[in-house]
Amino acid sequence: MTERLTGEESLQQDLESLSVSKRLVRSVSQKLKKKNHRSVGEEEDDSRGVSLRCLTLYGRGGGCKVGADTGDDLGDSCGRRRSNASDEGKGYNLICGNEETSVDCFSYGMRQKFWRRTNKKSLELEEALQNKNVNVFLPDDILEMCLLRLPFISLVNARLVCKKWRNLTMTPRFWRMRQEGSFQSPWLFLFGVVKDGYCSAELHAFDVSFNQWHKMNSELLKGRFLFSVTGIHDDVYVVGGCSSLANFGKVDKSSFKTHKSVLVFSPLMRTWRKAAPMKHSRSSPILGTSEISSDCLVLRNQQTRGDRRFYRPRVGGVSDVYEDPHRLSVRRQSRHSLDENELTYLPNVKPYKFVKQKNEHSSKDQRRFLLIAVGGLGCWDEPLDSAEIYDPVSNKWTEIQRLPVDFGIACSGVVCNGLFYVYSETDKLAAYDVEKGYWVRIQTSPFPTRVHEYHPKLICCNSRLFMLSVSWCEGEGQIGRRNKAVRKLWELDLMSLTWREVSIHPDAPMDWNAAFIADKNSIFGVEMFKIFGQVLDFLTVGDVSDAGINWSHISRNRLAQELDAASCLTKSMAVLHL
């Protein structure tokens, strides 16, 4: 026995001096040799050193996770893949226990490797017989370049492939590169649909490139209606709105509450968060997003603002060209004296400033946007003329100058070239100069006459200002005969301030609350209406870069079958690039 012990001792020393790989080689060759003489071989193995080796394992503090015990508890260690898959682990595994138990201890991946090592030849044959495209291994930087170019839906799919792919596609850097490389395509987000009388928490996303609708649930929006939406970067901002108090979830204004809260939805992360609430509760506010230079530092107060204003008498019909090469020519009107006082001494209007952005990445990376909310209806459904501006960087709303006094109720607005143009129900046009911080009235040549119930929609496409307005179409050859309503696209010439008819929309204007939104060169329109007991939807797009804008239908009746007619009233749309 002593003999044996010393033998073992010397063996132990022997073992310790061996490197793991050598041990591996030894054990593998042992294994292969003893394959058919398992029981005998193992016995020898054991006597030679399994128990000793196990002791050594304990000694090393690794712990022998691979006992001869083939119990189910070994299965648990499969979960801890990496800890067992160390080189040390490999070595021990092969030595202790029999083949079956050893592989059970490790992750599936390890087992594969183990098998491959021992069965290399058979596997190679297998691979050769399989499709020759296996194992197209791309280095990470090239893989990233390929993934950047995937459309959003495919990218979402790619995240399921493996952890590396998921991690590669989830970083902010990756999304910035997608943006900068222009690998994104537009997505339309349709909000506010009503189903079975309830403001469903559904939102519908239309993938323009695949021409497909997708449905999402957003519990947070449940019960909220008549909110306004807009897209900024990769998020959709949901601003204001109402909820019924009597019948929660229904579009019921008998007893309701108006919100000032702002919810932000990120389709990328599929998350909702809350932004700072507005100063005033609003339903259906007019929203505009204005891009400003990312390190803009502007300090404003009423005094300086007052100094900058020009007083020009209004000369009937003729537009003055404003002599400033950096600005658009807009006619400025002298204000009612009351206005002036209001402006300069309005106690509630605080001076606002844009904080200089200090961020880790260069200011070129992110374009900065401000969100402007104007008008809408207040807590008692009263039309509002207040306005406020939101800076996502500081997460703060600041009140800005109210709409001009006799402007009327704002019904549509859009930002174009740094000016937030707003149109009123009484056909007035005003613009808020975002940087300078005040409203100017804009006198244009006569506004297109329109059907009164249809509020025109302002659109800005490539620094051009358009308006979609429904008017009566004179019957052919019958002057003065108004028999058909038609939706026309007008463009405002920003130099001469005249409206020019550009195109006629192919669809009859059945939806008086049609949503139109611009994206680069295209104008997307969604119309929903009930006819013959059915709710239909039409999605059209017009390309502005053509001389005569052609409209095409891109989706018909894919969406509205289950929706209520009330959706026409409550729907709103935002566009994002994903």
Residue with tokens 């929006």: 221
Q: Pick between residue 207 and residue 339 the one whose CB is nearest to another protein.
A: 207
State how far the Cα of 43 lies from the Cα of 50, in Å rounded to an integer: 9
**Least distance from another protein to the Cβ atom of residue 160, Å:** 5
Residue with tokens 């008017």: 471
Torsion of CA 389, 393, 395, 396, to 10 degrees: -40
Size of the site for another protein (CB under 8 A): 46
Residue 380 binding another protein, by CB under 8 A? no
Q: Which of 13, 47, 86, 212 binds another protein (CB under 8 A)?
A: 212
**Least distance from another protein to the Cβ atom of residue 541, Å:** 20
State how far the Cα of 214 lies from the Cα of 187, in Å rounded to an integer: 10
Q: Pick between residue 61 and residue 139 the one whose CB is nearest to another protein.
A: 139
**Least distance from another protein to the Cβ atom of residue 269, Å:** 8
**Least distance from another protein to the Cβ atom of residue 150, Å:** 5
Per CB under 8 A, contacts with another protein among 382-401 are: none
Q: Pick between residue 169 and residue 386 the one whose CB is nearest to another protein.
A: 169
Residue 463 binding another protein, by CB under 8 A? no
**Least distance from another protein to the Cβ atom of residue 211, Å:** 10
**Least distance from another protein to the Cβ atom of residue 236, Å:** 14
Q: Which ranges in 248-393 belong to alpha helices (H)?
A: 302-308, 337-345
Vertex 92 angle, CA 91 and 94, to 5°: 75
Q: How many CB atoms lie within 10 A of CB 445?
A: 14
Per CB under 8 A, contacts with another protein among 100-159 are: 108-109, 112, 131-139, 141-142, 145-154, 156-159
Q: Which of 32, 216, 297, 346 binds another protein (CB under 8 A)?
A: 216
Contact in structure between 258 and 379 (CB atoms under 8 Å): yes
State how far the Cα of 408 lies from the Cα of 490, in Å rounded to an integer: 22
Residue 182 binding another protein, by CB under 8 A? no
**Site mask for another protein (CB under 8 A), range 57-96, x = bound:** ----------------------x-----------------
Q: Pick between residue 35 and residue 164 the one whose CB is nearest to another protein.
A: 164
Among residues 267, 17, 52, the alpha carbon closest in space to that of 153 is found at 267
At 100 the three-state DSSP class reads: helix
At 202 the three-state DSSP class reads: strand
Is the CA virtual torsion 137, 138, 144, 148 positive or negative?
negative
Q: Pick between residue 183 and residue 512 the one whose CB is nearest to another protein.
A: 183
State the distance between the two ends of the chain, measured CA to CA, in whole angstroms.
Answer: 75
**Least distance from another protein to the Cβ atom of residue 92, Å:** 23
Contact in structure between 415 and 423 (CB atoms under 8 Å): no
Q: Pick between residue 89 and residue 392 the one whose CB is nearest to another protein.
A: 89
State how far the Cα of 180 lies from the Cα of 233, in Å rounded to an integer: 12
**Least distance from another protein to the Cβ atom of residue 234, Å:** 14
State how far the Cα of 369 lies from the Cα of 232, in Å rounded to an integer: 7
Q: Which of 128, 129, 160, 531 binds another protein (CB under 8 A)?
A: 160
State how far the Cα of 261 lies from the Cα of 529, in Å rounded to an integer: 29
Residue 162 binding another protein, by CB under 8 A? yes
Q: Pick between residue 162 and residue 315 the one whose CB is nearest to another protein.
A: 162
Among residues 373, 399, 202, the alpha carbon closest in space to that of 283 is found at 373
Query: Interface with another protein by CB under 8 A: which range of 67-75, 164-172, 364-372, 412-420?
Result: 164-172
Q: Pick between residue 60 and residue 82 the one whose CB is nearest to another protein.
A: 82
**Least distance from another protein to the Cβ atom of residue 214, Å:** 5
Q: Which of 67, 165, 201, 436 binds another protein (CB under 8 A)?
A: 165
Q: Pick between residue 146 and residue 297 the one whose CB is nearest to another protein.
A: 146
Per CB under 8 A, contacts with another protein among 233-272 are: 269-270
**Least distance from another protein to the Cβ atom of residue 149, Å:** 4
Q: Pick between residue 214 and residue 464 the one whose CB is nearest to another protein.
A: 214
**Least distance from another protein to the Cβ atom of residue 206, Å:** 11
Contact in structure between 419 and 438 (CB atoms under 8 Å): no
State how far the Cα of 266 lies from the Cα of 246, in Å rounded to an integer: 31
**Least distance from another protein to the Cβ atom of residue 213, Å:** 7
Tokens encoding 547: 């001389």
**Site mask for another protein (CB under 8 A), range 438-457, x = bound:** --------------------
Phi-psi region of 130 (alpha: psi -120 to 50; beta: other; left: phi over 0): beta
Torsion of CA 493, 496, 498, 503, to 10 degrees: -30
Which H/E stretch holds residue 54?
Answer: helix 51-60
Contact in structure between 485 and 473 (CB atoms under 8 Å): yes
State how far the Cα of 464 lies from the Cα of 545, in Å rounded to an integer: 11
Q: Pick between residue 184 and residue 283 the one whose CB is nearest to another protein.
A: 184
**Least distance from another protein to the Cβ atom of residue 52, Å:** 35
**Secondary structure (DSSP) of 350-387:** ---EEPPP--SS-TTTS-EEEEEEE--B-TTSPBP--E
State how far the Cα of 378 lies from the Cα of 178, in Å rounded to an integer: 40
Q: Which of 67, 70, 213, 261 binds another protein (CB under 8 A)?
A: 213
**Least distance from another protein to the Cβ atom of residue 209, Å:** 10
Amino acid, res. 20: V
Q: Which of 48, 111, 214, 520 binds another protein (CB under 8 A)?
A: 214
Q: Pick between residue 271 and residue 462 the one whose CB is nearest to another protein.
A: 271
Q: Pick between residue 77 and residue 445 the one whose CB is nearest to another protein.
A: 77
Q: Which residues bind another protein (CB under 8 A)?
A: 79, 108-109, 112, 131-139, 141-142, 145-154, 156-166, 205, 210, 212-217, 269-270
